[in-house]
Amino acid sequence: MKRLTVAWLSAFLLSGSALTSYAQTNSPIPERDSSSVSLFEYATKIPKRNKVFNLDLEMHAGFNADFFSGKLDEAAFRFRGVKIDVTGEVNDRLFYWYRQTLNGGYEGQALENLNESIEYAYIGYKLNERFTLTAGKQDVFYGGFEYDENPLLIYEYSDMNEYSLCYLTGIGLGYQPNESQEIRLQVTNSRMGSMEDEYGRPPEGFKKPRVPLFYTLNWNGNFLDELIHLRYSVSAAEQAQGKYMYSVFTGQSIEAGPVYAYFDVMYSRGKLDPLGLLTELTQPEVSGEEEPEPPVRMQNIDYLSLVGEIQYRFHPKWQLFAKGMYESASIYKAYDAYEKGKYRTAWGYQGGLEFYPMADDNLHIFLTAIGKKYNLSERAKALDASLDDTARLSIGFIYRLPLY
């Protein structure tokens, strides 16, 4: 990729005078105040003539003051995300999407032979006006609106969306009977790496499945002239031989003038801990630089998440938002020394002010306050588990920069 970029840049510099001359006489380009004009078009004054190749750079960065249990831990500048996003339409039927994060996740995963930094690497084909097929690494067809949002715009996810596997390799089939309804069926891998990569130390007797696949059925609909939107999904996967996990994601949203709001309800249950959050509570502390041995993955775990957000665009360039979360983690069936019941509860809050200085929403500057408060039951405390409440104040920017 670096070599390709250098070659393109060299060619661009050598032909600069010719491009400028052509642009001045043949192709007026408006001032670059929106994504309708890419950086290439603005610099060369040459308009794009097709949709075969589109290149964007996504950046989310800011100055963060982090607090643990009410005490300042650290205040520093930090990038939450930097990504390259490439999309295109080869013809009226064939399209593709490639997206990769540039700040982490480069370790190769054995099952898929890819690394986590690659989020999208798929091709799509429109079979006809109703059916569309996708193949390659893609996002799981979960429901819910927090999940459906571009990760670039998320300040902090709920635990359910933060720890659920999101990008996996497989195939998907979409059916759109009309403009307001969509049904999608998807089969992907259930993990990217080995069983040990995903679950640490599986309990004794848990063997890897011979067909580690993840199945998802998704329905999306809008009603009342797109006033109300719904996004529902059900999923299932074999975690180990004869051991399964299931999840249900539901999302409801409403958009009326300057107000947009959604409410998501998400539930996941697995014979092996689906998210790993309860298993983390059993991680023993290790002194010095010794590498801790991963704890045995807990069994019979379920998670419930409730997430709601409201956004108010009180001015074309200004927006207020508030977001709240309630999440719980429980053992639904007692085993060994672990009792049935709730172990972990979390309440999350987010709020802030966003300023959009350009003609579109590609760039905005934010001021946010984010926090989570945890409560551990007596069952969890008996495991010597503890969690610090967290909070963060941030000021920064989010920019989706169209390069070409």
Distance CA 85, CA 120 (A): 9
Q: Is the CB of residue 302 less than 8 Å from the CB of residue 330?
A: yes
> What pLDDT is recorded for position 30?
44
> What pLDDT is recorded for position 20?
36
Using a pLDDT cut of 90, give the percent of the chain over it.
77
> What pLDDT is recorded for position 286?
60
> What pLDDT is recorded for position 28?
43
127 token code pair: 């079979």
Domain ranges of the chain: 126-395
> What pLDDT is recorded for position 288?
57
> What pLDDT is recorded for position 6?
34
Fold of the domain built from segment(s) 126-395: Porin (2.40.160)
pLDDT < 50: residue spans in the chain: 1-30, 32
Distance CA 38, CA 46 (A): 10
Q: What is the dihedral of CA 248, 249, 250, 253, to 10 degrees?
A: 180
Q: Supply angle C-alpha 337, 338, 342, rounded to 5.
A: 160
> What pLDDT is recorded for position 72?
95
212 token code pair: 């580690």
> What pLDDT is recorded for position 1?
35
